Chains A and B, each alone.
Chain A
């Protein structure tokens, strides 16, 4: 018998809800969203936006500092740093995207199946995931590179497998809580099938949590993939990639040319922080949502 609180009936269109959620994340959340939007924009349109050729080397211009239109100068092979950063956004963002999609989809399916059926299936899935927990992402990626050769695909798949248990653990808890709600029981009594209840009711109701989790995960995937590319096991040169750029330009730092490596580093850090901040804010909202 709770007191009736007046809830203004807001517009329930999906777009309006998304904008509302974004506004509720505060100035930090909005700033993060803008950074992410810029990164995505560059990832999609970078190839056409880059002012100069990011691939062709010109050793006579190596390490030259910022001049005129070359706002960030030249890298160790005489290529325009800014253009490499812009074009490099694609692989730098695509890799983590693939990892997030892979681990979220696999993790969500396993979590919901385990929560729905419970019993032996849940025990089986949980034990399997416990085993996977033991493998750190980078270790798995190194193994994958050893077996399948270096490259973004193998690294992305390895990381997806490594992240899946984290996703599944978080989502399983939320799915179990939804599953125990009376409205799910009401649908079961109506005769609706398990898969239909899970797809049409359970998953949509934990969607805010899924989105928050995916956002946070993106940041982690970006760092891990940058590290893997830095090690030379991910994206291969001359393909521009922020992680690779740190690796190939790091020799410039003790020589007095820190800008190329630092610029790539800043890009990674900015985008990762943006994803983390936005993700955390969305997570808080998901936990606090009124029913």
Chain B
């Protein structure tokens, strides 16, 4: 739970019991600075939204936390273990897999097309535990039940499943490692509205049951409001605002956050042409 209720400022990295802490994170791709001095911390069973548009660096931060990119500078600590540098041994890699997991955005490419849900989850269980087959089977049934997949869906190949069902499989796969932190990288953005609601409810249930911490990366402010307690707003790799989600959305301080908030369609909304260039409107680097 957030320590301070001061709008616009929560102290990063102060709590020694943080599930995940990031400090001074920086990533350069040649001359381009994608992430510039980002810091935040999440307590156990906490939830943080990283809000930003294209070019904000939010996906790069997620990739650095799970080890798919290497930070140029800065530190990342999960469950008290440093993970700023690549893992050195297979055991280290697996241990990190049990600390932080991720669910990607696109349900159509985040599953191996040749594996059904049971095989997918089974592979993860065998990777992390030396359990006998029947114990694994029980756990698979628990996980598929937790994410709301019936027997037919658990045994079907991904191409016979809808987008929402595939995301449930991806969530079950991530939870099979029993992580302390779950990163949701725009995980509901590609889903229909009615399915999105089901998955959001599912995620809230999971958080209640397993006490896992969430990092939700999203551009959708309504989803952010629904699922997270704290939020940071990123623009071009820098944090421009942070605080409890409700405060950041109801009373934004920074002009960019205000513009973001004002851009969301709602009853009575009339789009206006703004003065600041919109995010993602600048030319891609030639």
Contact = CB atoms under 8 A, between A and B. Distances in A.
A–B touch (CB < 8 A): the answer is yes
Contacts of A134: none
Given A188-B68, A190-B97, A191-B90, A182 B104 contact: yes
B67 A188 contact: yes
A291 B109 contact: yes
B110 A191 contact: no
B102 A1 contact: no
A160 B191 CA distance: 49
Given A183-B109, A290-B159, A191 B104 contact: no
Contacts of A205: 112-114
Given A183-B111, A205-B112, A205-B114, A9 B160 contact: yes
B25 interface: no
A148 to B, nearest CB: 42
A290 B108 CA distance: 11
B31 to A, nearest CB: 20
A266 B67 CA distance: 58
Given A182-B106, A186-B174, 5 more contacts: A191-B96, A191-B97, A191-B128, A193-B90, A291-B109
B67 A192 contact: no
Interface bracket on A: 20 to 34
Nearest to B97: A191
A55 B124 CA distance: 60
A131 interface: no
A13 interface: no
Contacts, number: 77
B81 interface: no
A5 to B, nearest CB: 10
A291 B127 contact: no
B112 A201 contact: yes
A190 B104 CA distance: 13
B154 interface: no
14 contacts: A2-B163, A186-B110, A186-B170, A186-B174, A189-B68, A190-B177, A191-B90, A191-B128, A192-B93, A193-B90, A204-B114, A291-B108, A291-B109, A291-B159
B191 A1 contact: yes
Contacts of A288: none
Interface in A1-53: 1-2, 4, 7, 9, 12
A185 B157 contact: no
A4 B159 CA distance: 10
A181 interface: yes
Interface string B150-194: 000000111110110000001001100100000000000011100
B156 A9 contact: yes
Most buried by A among B67, B114, B128: B114
A190 B95 CA distance: 9
A4 B162 contact: yes
Interface bracket on B: 35 or more
Contact of B102 (A189, A191, A193, A290): A189
Nearest to B98: A191
B93 A193 contact: yes
B17 interface: no
B159 A190 contact: no
Given A1-B190, A190-B97, A193-B93, A182 B110 contact: yes
B218 interface: no
B233 interface: no
B104 A185 contact: yes
B113 A291 contact: yes
Most buried by A among B98, B102, B192: B102
A4 to B, nearest CB: 5
Contacts of A2: 108, 163
B109 A181 contact: yes
Contacts of B157: 9, 12
Contacts of B98: 191
Contacts of B61: none
B97 A189 contact: yes
Interface in A170-189: 181-183, 185-186, 188-189
A42 to B, nearest CB: 35
Given A1-B190, A205-B112, A191 B160 contact: no
A7 B113 CA distance: 14
Contacts of B128: 190-191
A190 B124 contact: yes
Contacts of A12: 157
Given A201-B112, A205-B112, A7 B160 contact: yes
Contacts of A9: 156-157, 160
B56 interface: no
Ranked nearest first, the 5 interchain pairs of A and B with the lowest CB-CB distance are A191-B97, A191-B94, A191-B93, A182-B110, A182-B104
B66 interface: yes
Interface string B178-217: 0000000000001110000000000000000000000000
B17 to A, nearest CB: 24
Contacts of B112: 183, 201, 205
